Structure 1
């Protein structure tokens, strides 16, 4: 058995389910209290977490098909003992997750390459940074805000909708470095000058390519996956982005060039099941509207330390 031809996503327990109470006990009372709590509550179902709906829609792509298109693998810092509650919840919700790595406190990102994962989602920023540093697409799933997750099209639409920021996510951060060092005028001039020169790939290029490969199995009219680029860029900095995607021969369904406008309401209108961005400020705004993954990559994160 191999993962050839499959889209593989690794996800942590805290990204998939709401384990905030257990994590609070771990932070305040330590590992032994946490283990007792999880074992005592292993028959109590966990509530869906921030990335639950994304996972549900990913696994729904396996319905009505003879082959498995998508594999979701649990990569958890729990032990097998404390992880029993997680698998009980997986079974209850009917999620087709059969493979897992329980590392008993060690970082689980090490199993990303072994499982051939195209994406790693975790609530632990240190695990995400370690994966990104070694070239694997990864994002930190951010907690919901109390007023977050207002109803969107994603709540009623079974189509899987994934949105990406551009610079330092789909693309490298070369243009973002020009902007931060020289300002908007120098950035615009540089992008016009290099409009026909493709941008280098960023940490999520390979994940977008894997999605594109999966999309190509369907007709455009019946595709259950829709992607969007949602970027603060505006004209004339749009041309280089368009030509870059064209040179990659990778499909993007929608492109929003917002010219600095806040992204949240546009992502809500798109109905994003998740949005990936490298900048903390953007993520704090967008997680009021949609599930958000922070990609701690590039100059924006160097500057923030």
Structure 2
């Protein structure tokens, strides 16, 4: 992967940015030729906003708050051809989004361009592409369709699950194999030993570097750890973040309670979790990304 320390880059698929459900249905039911005709015929009709649109809009506004070269960028990665993708670019222009770089792959997976573009995060509606991105070492998630969203201000709020997302799944493996009592005992015994990093550790580090360019009272980004852990398993998490020299703005230890209402209270623009059942529940309240990583997804 090509590092771009000067910039935080999010790659997003066209189906995550815009609502392409109608045209995707045409593709699935009638094939590629019908899909192409459908898109070209409507290329001047702006697409409806997709699940990730509010997140992207807030993200791009950060450049307006900092002097000098843009510090964030959104790259469009699409399975469309450039010809059918013209509707997507016309919609980007319609909404005034500052997105200028893209890869249209004409039916092939675009994940192979994530590295050359130096992307820190990939959001897609295609789970296969997301898994391939994770294998490249890039934070990636499949957006789960859900209910309506409330966006109360311009602050960009990222919420993360802990195990198998920010952290490795080593503790979750103990829980799956031996149960809650063994998990709690093991975490108490290992409280002083930092957990390994998960697929979103690097993205959180990049977010923190960007946050550091703002004063605490003026930062347009907030982060939260929202985990099913509770005391005493909280200590290892806190010490791990301390060892990594990473700060999260809010930490919520739920002890198994459903996460949805807490994510709504935080005002998350997106929440990342490895467990499909947690994602389905959270998606009723906030935009949610499934991270197909760790033992839960190996067994799935």
Task: Give the TM-score category using the shorter length.
Answer: over 0.9
Could you say which residue in structure 1 is the equivalent of 2:206?
210
Determine the C-alpha separation between the residues in 2 that align with 1:12 and 1:120: 8
Could you say which residue in structure 1 is the equivalent of 2:253?
257
Partner of 1:44, secondary structure, is coil
Could you say which residue in structure 2 is the equivalent of 1:76?
78
Determine the C-alpha separation between the residues in 2 that align with 1:205 and 1:3: 16
Could you say which residue in structure 2 is the equivalent of 1:14?
15
List 4+ stretches of structure 1 deviating above 3 A: none
Partner of 1:172, secondary structure, is coil
Determine the C-alpha separation between the residues in 1 that align with 2:29 and 2:256: 40
**Distance apart, 1:229 and its partner CA:** 0.2
- Count residues with an aligned counterpart: 297
Could you say which residue in structure 2 is the equivalent of 1:61?
62
Correspondence list, 1:1-305, <5 A: 3-64=4-65, 65-144=67-146, 148-151=147-150, 155-304=151-300
**Distance apart, 1:149 and its partner CA:** 2.2
5+ residue gaps, structure 1, are: none
Determine the C-alpha separation between the residues in 1 that align with 2:80 and 2:186: 48
Partner of 2:194, secondary structure, is coil
Determine the C-alpha separation between the residues in 1 that align with 2:149 and 2:143: 17
Determine the C-alpha separation between the residues in 2 that align with 1:261 and 1:233: 10
Determine the C-alpha separation between the residues in 2 that align with 1:74 and 1:232: 33
Instruction: Supply the RMSD in Å over aligned alpha carbons.
Output: 0.9
Contact 1:149 1:287 in 2 (8 A): no
Q: 1:115-153: per-residue Cα shift (whole Å, max 9, x none)?
A: 000001110000001111221111001122xxx1253xx
- TM-score, length-scaled by structure 1: 0.96
- TM-score, length-scaled by structure 2: 0.97
Q: 1:32-73: per-residue Cα shift (whole Å, max 9, x none)?
A: 110000000101110110000000000000114322010100
Determine the C-alpha separation between the residues in 1 that align with 2:177 and 2:170: 11
